[in-house]
């Protein structure tokens, strides 16, 4: 199965930055915002437009933790496991969400590409621990039960969409 991306969309993003090689991080961010990850096929197009080598662009994409080379779900859930969240039991939240979504060990994204569950070192909201975000929206003082309820609400939104 080939990766799906529209070269015209990539050209539009590149044009926004005037094909400037110093804007490669912003270019990759915009591409990822569009596709929820960086399809491998975009590297040749970005390379040709910016004059940077594909390996250089790939190095940037793999250096920064926020870039992903694998597709993510419509709802990207980040569970903080920094010190404050960890001591307030963030791992049981992670385990509950993975169980509710049927994610096995090593899996992060549901088969239907609706949910991606990730752990992060810090979300910068230690006073609200344990914290999760769903597509950057912050949910404070989460419990395993409230996380399962949130998943049910998101599934209901999708069912009614």
| Structural domains in the chain (count) | 2
Residue 141 maps to a domain: yes
Nearest-angstrom CA–CA distance, 70 and 55: 18
Residue with the two structure tokens 């970005």:
46
Residue 68 maps to a domain: no
Question: For the residues 56-61, what does the mean pLDDT come to?
Answer: 96
CATH number at residue 106: 3.40.30.10
Same domain, 79 and 109: yes
Q: Which residues of 47-75 are buried (b: 16+ CB within 10 A; e: fewer)?
A: bebbebeeebbbebbeeeeebbeeebbeb
| Residue 99 scores a pLDDT above 90 | yes
- Model confidence at 1, pLDDT cuts 50, 70, 90, reads very low
Supply the mean pLDDT for the chain. Answer: 94
Same domain, 102 and 150: yes
Same domain, 55 and 84: no
User: What is residue 3's predicted lDDT score, i.e. its pLDDT?
Assistant: 60
Same domain, 89 and 111: yes
Q: Among residues 21, 39, 63, which one ends one of the domains?
A: 63
Same domain, 81 and 152: yes
Structure tokens that stand for 140 in this block: 């404070």
Same domain, 44 and 109: no
Residue 2 maps to a domain: no
Same domain, 56 and 96: no
Same domain, 58 and 29: yes
Question: For the residues 22-30, what does the mean pLDDT come to?
Answer: 97
Enclosing domain of residue 98: 75-159
Residue 139 maps to a domain: yes
**106 or 27, higher pLDDT:** 27
Q: How far is CA 105 from CA 63, 83, 98, 123, 153, in A?
A: 24, 23, 9, 23, 24
Same domain, 97 and 146: yes
User: What is residue 24's predicted lDDT score, i.e. its pLDDT?
Assistant: 98
What residues have CB less than 8 Å from 70, skipping those under 6 apart?
37, 109
- Model confidence at 161, pLDDT cuts 50, 70, 90, reads confident
Q: What is the largest CA-CA distance in the chain?
A: 51
DSSP 116-135: EEEEES--S-GGG-S-EEET
Same domain, 81 and 42: no
User: What is residue 29's predicted lDDT score, i.e. its pLDDT?
Assistant: 96
Nearest Cα to Cα of residue 57 among 39, 71, 72: 39
Contact 120, 132 (CB under 8 A): no
Structure tokens that stand for 72 in this block: 């993510």
Q: How many C-beta neighbours within 10 Å does residue 91 have?
A: 14
Question: For the residues 85-109, what does the mean pLDDT come to?
Answer: 96
Same domain, 57 and 124: no
Give percent of the chain above pLDDT 70.
Answer: 98
| Residue 103 scores a pLDDT above 90 | yes
pTM over 0.85: no
């Amino acid at each position: 199965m080939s990766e799906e991306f529209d070269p015209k969309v990539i050209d539009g993003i590149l044009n926004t930055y005037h094909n400037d090689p110093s804007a490669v991080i912003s270019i990759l961010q915009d591409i990822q915002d569009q596709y929820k990850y960086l399809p491998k096929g975009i590297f040749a197009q970005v390379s040709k437009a910016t004059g940077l080598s594909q390996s250089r662009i790939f190095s940037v994409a793999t250096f920064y933790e926020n870039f992903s080379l694998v597709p993510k779900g419509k709802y990207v859930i980040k569970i903080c496991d920094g010190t404050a969240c960890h001591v307030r039991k963030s791992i049981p939240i992670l385990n509950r969400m993975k169980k509710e979504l049927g994610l096995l060990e090593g899996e992060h994204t549901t088969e239907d590409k609706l949910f991606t569950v990730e752990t992060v070192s810090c979300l910068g909201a230690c006073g609200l621990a344990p914290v999760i975000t769903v597509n950057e929206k912050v949910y404070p003082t989460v419990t395993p039960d409230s996380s399962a309820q949130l998943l049910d609400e998101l599934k209901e939104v999708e069912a009614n969409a």
